[in-house]
């Protein structure tokens, strides 16, 4: 275990059991057994599967008497075919649960595989629309242990997974309360190898989750408090983690901010995500990086509805108590982290803007935006983000 302040460790149960702290990956076998698994399928992506940390995790499970098998056919924006391949591996191997290991894509795919193991209906029948989740056969949903290796999505404490429908190029949210992992093992040492670009993108994803949750108009003061403190952790630690990837203290705080964002966004997300999802589905861009590009444009659009709240947030973050101060901080942070200011910086052209403008208002995150959005609004925001016009 690397040197780390002793107070940066804990065992939490909000909203799920979280074993947090450096070196706690060694508890994976115990967590798997406590969840009732004897033969889990470890789900990760192909790139991470070649990382020594995965081999070490598998060896640790074997050493604890757990017969695990590796499945790594998960891409950066997982599609239905990844889930179907995982289900095939799960059933052919007689597995009794899932260890979802990696970034948000691996965690989402693993959770949906565990959920679909007990279903007879097609996966899209459980999209997060109304009460679709009540269609599920709950007895067959398998237990999940989540092990994040990035600090962004917070999927380790979430009840949903985002899967791209390759036929329509839409990202869809599959939701059920029992998709929440039994235990999340949040070991910041697993994030020490993240390159600066990934650190930036995932960190800005955590910020986007906290920010959109805080700006949502629904009444949820618990989520607001978590979101505000999560943003403070981002402000005080993301730059350090970006500059010095070996700083385990900064990595730990960013890992906490990520799970705080996912805890808070049960209140709301908004236009940042609604605009970002079509881009990721059509162009396979990094989700957190895409959110970061849209952030200032959506903040500016929402200003009439959120200015007072943003001023309070700015004061808490140690900035001048104004909307302008918060916006300037976001712009400065993006520049420091090498985030492109425009969609053109993501190597996109504008040929699909019409199509994306129709997709974005239909995204399940769109309804949480403080100001309602429609196709015309989204087209204006895409155009502004393309040319950099705040």
Query: Per-residue pLDDT tens for 174-194?
Result: 999 999 999 999 999 999 989
Q: Are residues 100 and 224 in the same domain?
A: no
Is 5 part of any domain?
Answer: no
Q: Are residues 147 and 227 in the same domain?
A: no
Question: Which among 142, 169, 190 is the end of a domain?
Answer: 190
Q: Average pLDDT for residues 29-47, to the nearest whole number?
A: 97
Q: What's the rounded Cα separation, in Å, for the pair 385 and 85?
A: 37
Question: Which among 171, 190, 209 is the end of a domain?
Answer: 190
Q: Are residues 108 and 135 in the same domain?
A: yes
Q: Are residues 154 and 43 in the same domain?
A: yes
pLDDT value at 76 more than 60: yes
The structure's pTM equals 0.93
pLDDT of residue 2: 57
Q: Are residues 156 and 221 in the same domain?
A: no
Give 13's pLDDT tier (boundaries 50, 70, 90): low
pLDDT of residue 266: 87
Cis amide prior to 15 (ω within 30 degrees):
yes
Sequence-distant (6+) residues with CB within 8 A of 337 are 196, 200, 203, 204, 238, 239, 242, 292
pLDDT of residue 300: 98
- Token pair of 121 as six digits: 């209906």
Instruction: Tell me the pLDDT tens digit for each residue of 95-106.
Output: 999 999 999 999
Least confident interval from 5-14, 220-229, 286-295, 336-345: 5-14
Q: What's the rounded Cα separation, in Å, for the pair 346 and 366?
A: 22
Contact call for residues 298 and 365 (beta carbons, < 8 A): no
- Residue 319: CATH number of its domain: 1.20.1090.10
Q: What's the rounded Cα separation, in Å, for the pair 365 and 7?
A: 36
Q: Are residues 217 and 184 in the same domain?
A: no
Is 1 part of any domain?
Answer: no
pLDDT of residue 237: 98
Q: Are residues 139 and 268 in the same domain?
A: no
Give 3's pLDDT tier (boundaries 50, 70, 90): low
Q: Are residues 226 and 175 in the same domain?
A: no
pLDDT value at 12 more than 70: no
Q: Is 231 exposed, middle or buried (0-12, 13-18, 19+ CB in 10 A)?
A: buried
Q: Average pLDDT for residues 255-269, to the nearest whole number?
A: 94
Tell me the percentage of the chain whose pLDDT exceeds 70: 97
pLDDT of residue 4: 57
Give 92's pLDDT tier (boundaries 50, 70, 90): very high
Q: DSSP for 89-128?
A: HHHHTT---EEEEESHHHHHHHHHHHHHTT--S-GGGGBS
Q: What is the mean pLDDT of the chain?
A: 95
Q: Are residues 126 and 241 in the same domain?
A: no
Q: Are residues 42 and 147 in the same domain?
A: yes
How many domains would you assign to the chain? 2
Q: Are residues 230 and 172 in the same domain?
A: no
Q: Are residues 175 and 256 in the same domain?
A: no
What is the domain range of residue 76?
Answer: 10-190
């Amino acid at each position: 275990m690397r040197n780390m302040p002793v107070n940066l460790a804990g065992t939490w149960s909000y909203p799920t059991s979280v074993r947090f702290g450096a070196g706690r990956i060694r508890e994976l076998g115990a967590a798997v057994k406590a969840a009732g698994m004897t033969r889990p399928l470890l789900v990760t992506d192909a790139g991470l599967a070649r990382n020594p940390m995965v081999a070490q995790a598998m060896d640790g499970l074997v050493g604890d008497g757990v017969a695990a098998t590796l499945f790594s056919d998960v891409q950066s924006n997982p599609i239905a075919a990844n889930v179907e391949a995982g289900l095939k591996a799960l059933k052919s191997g007689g597995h009794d649960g899932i260890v979802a290991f990696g970034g948000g894509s691996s965690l989402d795919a693993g959770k949906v595989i565990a959920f679909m193991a007990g279903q007879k209906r097609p996966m899209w029948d459980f999209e997060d629309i109304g009460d679709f989740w009540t269609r599920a056969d709950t007895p067959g949903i398998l237990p999940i242990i989540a092990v994040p290796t990035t600090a962004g999505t917070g999927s380790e404490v979430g009840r949903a997974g985002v899967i791209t429908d390759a036929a329509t190029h839409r990202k869809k949210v599959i939701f059920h309360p029992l998709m929440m992992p039994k235990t999340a093992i949040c070991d910041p040492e697993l994030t020490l190898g993240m390159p600066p670009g990934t650190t930036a993108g995932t960190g800005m994803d955590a910020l986007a989750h906290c920010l959109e949750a805080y700006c949502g108009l629904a009444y949820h003061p618990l989520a607001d408090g978590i979101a505000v403190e999560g943003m403070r952790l981002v402000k005080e630690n993301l730059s350090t983690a970006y500059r010095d990837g070996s700083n385990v203290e900064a990595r730990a705080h960013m890992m906490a901010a990520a799970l705080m964002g996912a805890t808070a966004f049960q209140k709301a997300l908004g236009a940042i995500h609604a605009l970002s999802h079509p881009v990721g589905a059509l162009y396979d861009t990094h989700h957190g990086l895409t959110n970061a590009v849209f952030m200032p444009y959506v903040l500016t659009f929402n200003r009439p509805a959120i200015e007072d709240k943003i001023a309070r947030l700015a004061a808490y973050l140690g900035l001048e108590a104004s909307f302008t101060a918060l916006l300037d901080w976001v712009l400065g942070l993006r520049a420091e982290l090498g985030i492109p200011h425009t969609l053109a910086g993501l190597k996109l052209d504008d040929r699909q803007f019409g199509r994306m403008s129709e997709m974005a208002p239909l995204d399940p995150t769109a309804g949480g935006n403080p100001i309602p959005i429609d196709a015309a609004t989204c087209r204006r925001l895409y155009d502004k983000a393309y040319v950099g016009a705040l």
